[in-house]
Amino acid sequence: MAGMFLLLLACVEEGKEEAPLVLQSTPSPDDFVVNGPGGPQSSFTSEQLLLPCAALTGGPEDVEHHNLVGIYDGILWLPWAPESGKGGITSYDFSDPCNPVKIGEAYSEWMRESHTLGIGEVGDRRFLAVDMHVSGTEGGIGFWDITDPAAPFWLSQLNLPGYAYPDAYFRVALSTFWQGDRLYVAAGLLGVFVVDVSDPAAPTILNQVQEVAFMAGRMQIVGNLAFGASAGVPRSLLWDLSDPDDWDLLAAFDTVDPEGAFHPYYFSNWSGPYALFARKDGGGGPVIYDISAPETPVALSAGFVPDGDGGYVFRQEDLLFQGESNFGAIYDFSDPLTPTPIGRMEMKGDFDTLTPIGNVAVASVDEKGDPGLATLVFPWATQPDSVGPTVGYFNPTDGATFQASSSRIGLSFDEQIEAASVHPGSFRVWNAADGSRVVGRYYTQEALVNFVPDEALEGTYLVEVPAGGITDLSGNPTAQTLRWRFSTTDKVQGDFPE
């Protein structure tokens, strides 16, 4: 009888339906506040397009050496510093781009020209990592505390071993990228330094990664995939950073067009599945690669303007914006196989940087500009931007297995993202075993967004980017919901409830 009872019980258990998975609730996608006034909402006449309407200036020590600008939490930040150091940052209300209003400003004798705006949040404070210079053999990176946009201040600095100036590319910091407690610093022939920034007041070097024939100009990361680009030469690298202490080199390639001709580039960017390179020497224009399959990056196309010489490149939806040294250019990118120049902007000086923000672009020169006119605002479209951002690549990928327990989760969009819109309600991660929400921190830099879990991962995970949450710099949210799954084991088990 006992055996019969156990058999009946087993039959009952086999026929029992599993309870449907219930996902732990999260905030609504739009449950966030942008503390600053945000991106431009102005309209323009056709006669105003491609002509400057305003200038952005630094402090009294500004020597007219400007680079990119960026919006974070509704505030526009303008760094101003020459290669030799002594500069600062200025914050702006940019909601009316032709009438920008200064909010705050600060100077440091140690700040030098910065090519990116690496921002991270630690606790309730916010920090900007920039390049730093003290002397010919002493320099590296420095940190601004920008928690209060009206009163930013220089917090700390870190020397990098091997630093050497006046060479401006080979052995100096060139760019920074923040993910979790690590800051990745591209430093020319010194490679990539990995810096512990868990306490930005006391940063320390964790690692230095150098590769043969690679002069690190920029480092960008989406989840576990890292894209390392050069500055002035054709070389690029892709790494798997699943274990951030043990990098796995996936591919090394020299930038060519589809016909196989080599193209050195000055600087690069990552947007959606595309690596974007600003071609230099013998003409300008963007060179486009698809890096969504990182072990086999594919050369897609190369735009060309004979009188250009590429500096920096940005994407905004179906357009590319590129400083061409002699002018700024807008390229039609609706077909990535045929980027086509469709507009130009003119200003005096070495016109390297053209940063799109809504329906205006902010142009900067790093030398030879007119006094007070090193950064100018150019309207390029009559109506405010009304199209939300789209995810073009994410990592780990859908259905991926054997992912590291140390994995981070990343998104690459088709335009720059407002950091304040990235939160637990707009970038959701659940454990598929019990529906519990994974807690972590979010990091946004230009078009890239990363989620860093607080605890090691184990099992299958469900990721959702809901419609109506993450926005671009003009406040337009994502239009469609994106969902996918990945696992740290050999199987993806569990799914979103119906």
Q: Is the predicted pLDDT of residue 11 greater than 80, yes or no?
A: no
* pTM (whole model) above 0.75: yes
Taking the alpha carbons at both ends of the chain, their separation in whole angstroms is 42
pLDDT-based confidence at 20, cuts 50/70/90? confident
Q: Which helix (H) or strand (E) holds 14?
A: helix 2-15
Mean pLDDT (the chain) is 94
The pLDDT of residue 260 is above 90 = no
Name the amino acid, one letter, at 44: F
Asked if 210 contacts 167 with a C-beta cutoff of 8 angstroms, the reply is no
Is the Cβ–Cβ distance between 453 and 439 less than 8 Å? Answer: yes
Q: Which domains occur in the chain, in start order? A: 26-36+388-487 (2.60.40.1220), 46-379 (2.130.10.10)
Q: Residue 65: beta bridge partners? A: none
Close Cβ partners of 251 (under 8 Å, ≥ 6 residues apart): 237, 238, 294, 295, 296, 297
Task: Give the number of residues written for the chain.
Answer: 498
Residue with more model confidence, 7 or 159: 159
Give the Cα separation of 64 and 97 in Å (integer): 20
What pLDDT digit, counting tens, does each position of 443-497 carry? 999 999 999 999 999 999 999 999 999 999 999 999 999 999 999 999 999 999 9
User: 385: buried, middle or exposed (CB in 10 Å: 19+, 13-18, 0-12)?
Assistant: buried
Burial of 150 per CB tally in 10 Å (0-12, 13-18, 19+) = exposed
Q: At residue 16, does pLDDT exceed 90?
A: no
pLDDT tens digit sequence for 398-419: 999 999 999 999 999 999 999 9
